Structure 1
């Protein structure tokens, strides 16, 4: 597997600087593009409202995506013109670019995420830390959790369990379902798990990102749509207090990938919190993903990562392509992002350093 191209953005007043280091060449390349700040801001606002403005059944009728190509051409085409098909990109965004999934942008009419494995990191220095982080011990089992709102129809509630069940069957792990998929069961099981899969509802708080939550069951009751009780909420603040051994955490939960920027361009949300808590890679949702597309995506991801033996970055690329064939609008196929170590293999379990 080829080493990734490391990509760093810097948004300055009136200009965007694009830095990249390609292991196939020597030295760092730098390109400056003027006048993109307003385009990036507008794109971030479109993505922030994606869930509210898109009809999942007919997304092409309710959301204009024409901006993805002009922005892609001006933002990243200088980089992509230098790369072969399939080169892996590890991207450290900056400021409002944290809110724009670069993999859905188009260059030469082609979405980036359908032609290149893409992973996001808060900073390239953290990527180096993730790659050198002490490997996880053998013997720790995968664990999955799946619960929906108590008021949801049986058909939709069953859809929440399909992917976690498939994951547990293929990975050989334990699965907690419905009322058993509780916050307490997560807090007791996840710290020692090799891989964690969560299928549930999510809430993002722009005012207090540390209070963003995944909604799990509590005291044998599934969360309520109208008013989840505190015991149902697993927050970013809770995750920051954990010491995880998980190599991969999959958040099959709406809005779980949204983050808020603190002073110093530090994103705060579930992806950053889980990486800081010890996980090596995170798959999380950028918006309220339609459950049909999410299920297709997750089945494909598991098939390529667990069954096919591909690294997680390449498995994401394959899952994007598989989903795109059935659901061609980016609202469906681009709904999940990979954060962290793109080269993680399912079979890669080594002993921890002393």
Structure 2
């Protein structure tokens, strides 16, 4: 081999490496230098011509990657005249790849099916592995996820044997995408993590591609906002250079996530941008998917329904011819929904009858159930509405049952919001109270009916948690000194993100409990001592099912928008009154405002229930913002035992189980945190009343000691600063001597305390996700198995709560339920927003 040919081959190898890691422009430059050394196209030497053909094949891929697909196919045509017999498999495979990138999927599959059997020699390992990845991509796009997995498993084995770690990583990246299509989100996220270190070390240009696939998995788990964050960062990185295929793919995925976020304006903007990018590359398949995404956004905003129906029908046929059966099914369902809204049932049924994808993702299966329910609703067939909505939610329950993380379980409810809503709306119109109650329970807090998963922390995760605790103290100290540490704060955010992402990879265990019936609750309340009020999600004016003494009633309450605004104003006033000394005149104004808002809420939420309420205890099942109401402060409810619970089903389950008799250690645990002026006094008052208490104060009140002492307790009382983190509720926290005790930590307790009191700050605040899924510090205890949690839904003034807490524990010791004890003790300080959550 001559020196020129050797150098050309070296340039070719370097160019392929650049292409592999996403640097296409650099690859083209190196390929051009190689061709110049070989004297192409004028060379006549056979070996030089064969080498030039291999360079042309690689260069074609780089051209198409940069959007110049016509140039890419011309290069392949040139290579046809010079390619050696042993390289014809590479030429066929490259034509297959370029057809994938330009949306000619059936043609691509034919080329790859021809190329793959031709590989025989060990030196072919790289090309064989690449073709297997590409054919797997084709199967994935067509919804054939299991065939794709077979190719990827073979690819990984070939690449590992040939010592090609980057190819192994790319196979894993694609395998994660297949696992997403199959609905195994934890497995997909674990697989992505296996690929990531290799990309970080050797192919940073592929990290945005990894982010795109991870975003798809998060979106399928219902975490649309988190998916959007991943994509926004990927788009930022990809936008630094020339427009690429990966950038167009990221933009398209961002449009699809915007649809899930109920952001039609953003979805249309991203979809148009993606469509233009793919059309410039000649990729009709993905351009068609971008059009489908834009039509979905238009339907959500109820714009131009007839046009949507017509375009979606045409698009469905087009997508089917392009080999995209799953997207074709979605388009047909979209056309059917538009026709239903146009009151054209005949055409809607025609679209529903279009061919189905053999293995549709969960989103498509839920959409089909929703469209069928809507069609029967339009035709007045109530029974079939319930059948299809119930069947769709059953599919969602199966999907949720594969998720171990509370974060993912609560997020998954977003996928079924419309199904639950059509069931509930139909039940309300029908007017049968047991059915209304049944659908209200199917519409809320399904994650609380699942067995909690308590995963052991891996070493890397334990290290991240330890670093987070240490840095959280640094951040807190810096804030108190008036000199915030922005670097430490940014690192805390990054660590929280890492820990949270690791939690998403947890597999599920156990089954979901059934939703309880109206009959179950009516029988439980027979005797008339309690009134259960279940506020219905999504009704305006607000409605509630009230159940008492074996019977129930549907009650119409106040205007939801006004109630929501009043709750927000009330919380602002309560927070303003707490934690600082205010001028007397200002305090008077704020207190007057608080009383005004409480009076408004009493009128809107309580007065319509007065006849049923009488002197009974109250059980509240809230919806949305009502989870933040300080119920015991309302004029008509002061001094009345009140329990707030995520759902009637979770309340009933706790009532049915006796968890008190089998606790090993019944001594109360009392914990006083740092930097809270009256914490030690509060704990001392309670411990004097409960002489057998285990007390942790000062330097002894560490996270480790507290977690160890908390497990298997009957009562745990915390007089500590707390911080509700609405943007990342798993890291809401209580301040202890050596750092924060986080909501995240509660999942690790084998036997959480049965009765928890959080007497300071606003640790009773919750984030209510779609489907009334409650997240926060209080929710973490309840989800983990605590029976009752007493906490503040707004900031609690620690100087005023000492006497109240002493009275509370005295009453509990005398046998009062937590709700009754809190109601009586709160008369000492009526402006303290403590609420009893769970089941008393």
Query: What TM-score range do you get, normalising by the shorter chain?
Result: 0.7 to 0.9
Aligned residues of 2:760 and 2:797 also touching (Cα < 8 A): no
The CA deviation string for residues 267-319 of structure 1, in whole angstroms up to 9 with x for no partner, is 1112211111121111112222112211121011012111x322222111111
In structure 2, how many angstroms separate the alpha carbons of the residues matched to 1:245 and 1:38? 37
Runs of 5+ unmatched residues, structure 2: 1-526
Tell me the SS of whatever aligns to 1:215: strand
Q: Are 1:50 and 2:573 counterparts?
A: yes
Match of 1:348? none
Aligned residues of 1:210 and 1:269 also touching (Cα < 8 A): yes
Q: Are 1:71 and 2:601 counterparts?
A: yes
1:2 positional shift: 6.2
Q: Are 1:200 and 2:707 counterparts?
A: no
Q: Are 1:267 and 2:779 counterparts?
A: no
Aligned residues of 1:7 and 1:19 also touching (Cα < 8 A): yes
In structure 1, how many angstroms separate the alpha carbons of the residues matched to 2:575 and 2:839? 31
In structure 1, how many angstroms separate the alpha carbons of the residues matched to 2:557 and 2:548? 20
Runs of 5+ unmatched residues, structure 1: 219-231, 325-329, 343-354
In structure 1, how many angstroms separate the alpha carbons of the residues matched to 2:822 and 2:735? 25
Match of 2:557? 33
Match of 1:317? 823
1:258 positional shift: 0.7
After TM superposition, the structure 1 = structure 2 runs for residues 69-218 of structure 1, keeping only pairs within 5 Å, are 69-85=599-615, 87-106=616-635, 111-114=636-639, 116-136=640-660, 137-140=662-665, 141-149=667-675, 156=677, 159-171=678-690, 172-218=692-738
Cα–Cα, structure 1 residues 45 and 138, in superposed 2: closer, same or farther, change >3 Å? closer
1:211 positional shift: 1.2
Aligned residues of 2:711 and 2:752 also touching (Cα < 8 A): yes
1:163 positional shift: 2.3
The structure carrying a bigger strand percent of its residues is: 1
Cα–Cα, structure 1 residues 237 and 148, in superposed 2: closer, same or farther, change >3 Å? same
Greater length-normalized contact order (CA 8 Å, ≥ 6 residues apart): 1
The CA deviation string for residues 191-216 of structure 1, in whole angstroms up to 9 with x for no partner, is 12221111110111111111111111
Cα–Cα, structure 1 residues 144 and 120, in superposed 2: closer, same or farther, change >3 Å? same
Tell me the SS of whatever aligns to 1:294: helix
Tell me the SS of whatever aligns to 2:786: coil
- TM-score under structure 2 length normalisation: 0.35
Aligned residues of 1:196 and 1:248 also touching (Cα < 8 A): yes
1:11 positional shift: 4.2
CA-based RMSD: 2.1
Aligned residues of 2:670 and 2:687 also touching (Cα < 8 A): yes
In structure 2, how many angstroms separate the alpha carbons of the residues matched to 1:53 and 1:20? 34
In structure 2, how many angstroms separate the alpha carbons of the residues matched to 1:302 and 1:282? 14
In structure 1, how many angstroms separate the alpha carbons of the residues matched to 2:798 and 2:783? 29
Q: Are 1:19 and 2:545 counterparts?
A: yes
Tell me the SS of whatever aligns to 1:198: strand
Cα–Cα, structure 1 residues 47 and 179, in superposed 2: closer, same or farther, change >3 Å? farther
The CA deviation string for residues 110-160 of structure 1, in whole angstroms up to 9 with x for no partner, is x4132x2111001111101111234232540221111222xx6xxx2xx20
In structure 2, how many angstroms separate the alpha carbons of the residues matched to 1:61 and 1:134? 47
Cα–Cα, structure 1 residues 112 and 234, in superposed 2: closer, same or farther, change >3 Å? same
Instruction: Pick the aligned partner of 2:837 from 331, 339, 345.
Output: 339
Aligned residues of 1:146 and 1:161 also touching (Cα < 8 A): yes
In structure 1, how many angstroms separate the alpha carbons of the residues matched to 2:537 and 2:770? 14
1:263 positional shift: 2.1
